[in-house]
Structure 1
């Protein structure tokens, strides 16, 4: 499979977001401890995700093709995150992001695998906010050492309450 090449300006802008996460996380950790840094980063990431998810709410409760286009292939038809869509049907969208400029920024900064996993825990709250605002259930399996790509996400219909 030939991957599309991402626009360098967009790719670098997203990578810069990863650098910002790292700098803010490290500063918060120094001042308040790692647990509080994780809490603050997750809270801020979640709030950011709520804003991202609102426009995706038009796909709820089960337009998974729309979510593939609006989420998995965003922002540039899949060139930046290289989504590997594992399942796309009327019950769910399951997608493995094969590349991640955010994680790449952490690798380039010399972060340990442990720190990358912690930063992914912080950053994944953005996806959680996105799916909550969009009106979908989700499961996120974060990258861990030895795994290919980055995060694996399964998006399903949210049951009516």
Structure 2
């Protein structure tokens, strides 16, 4: 078995740029066919499913170990300070709140000239990934995506989830 090559920040940024372009083009194609609300619904469902798949690795912490969830989640963000600049505002048994001050998807959409309501719609569609991830891990997700007039990007709010009844 050989060692995996080290990924550079430039390569990772390029991968996020490609993902942002895919979302943007998919958004445009679906909006032309179905209108904006159905587009957000369809893209949101797809990103929610991706998040639910990603959330399986966080499931051992659900439904209530917020501290361990937060630690694993933040540790798993590649180049987190440079690409996302997360600010941990709260982390206790009651819940977790993280404000992202950057997002490589949003940065790329803005660089492509997307702004205002259109940028908000792209963020809503892509942001469903977080609801899928934390929901699949057993937590309650109450986060918010970026809206015009706000600085930064998404705000993640996660609370303990319901205990499964056997």
What is the TM-score of this pair, normalised by structure 2?
A: 0.86
Assess if the C-alpha contact under 8 Å between 1:12 and 1:101 holds in 2.
no
Q: CA separation of 1:69/1:10 partners in 2, compared to 1, >3 Å: closer, same or farther?
A: farther
> Which secondary structure state, in structure 2, belongs to the residue aligned with residue 87 of structure 1?
strand
Unmatched runs of 5 consecutive residues or more in structure 2 = 1-7
Q: 2:70 matched to which residue of 1?
A: 68
1:6-31 CA-partner distances (Å, limit 9, x unpaired): 82221221232111110001011112
Computing the radius of gyration over CA atoms, which structure comes out larger, 1 or 2?
2
* Distance in 1, Cα, partners of 2:149 & 2:38: 28
Q: 2:4 matched to which residue of 1?
A: none
* Distance in 1, Cα, partners of 2:159 & 2:21: 31
Q: 2:130 matched to which residue of 1?
A: 127
Please say if 1:113 is aligned against 2:116. yes
* Distance in 1, Cα, partners of 2:155 & 2:70: 13
Q: 2:24 matched to which residue of 1?
A: 22
4+ long deviations beyond 4 Å: none
What is the TM-score of this pair, normalised by structure 1?
A: 0.88
Q: 1:3 matched to which residue of 2?
A: none
Aligned residues: 156
Assess if the C-alpha contact under 8 Å between 1:72 and 1:95 holds in 2.
no
Q: 2:97 matched to which residue of 1?
A: 94
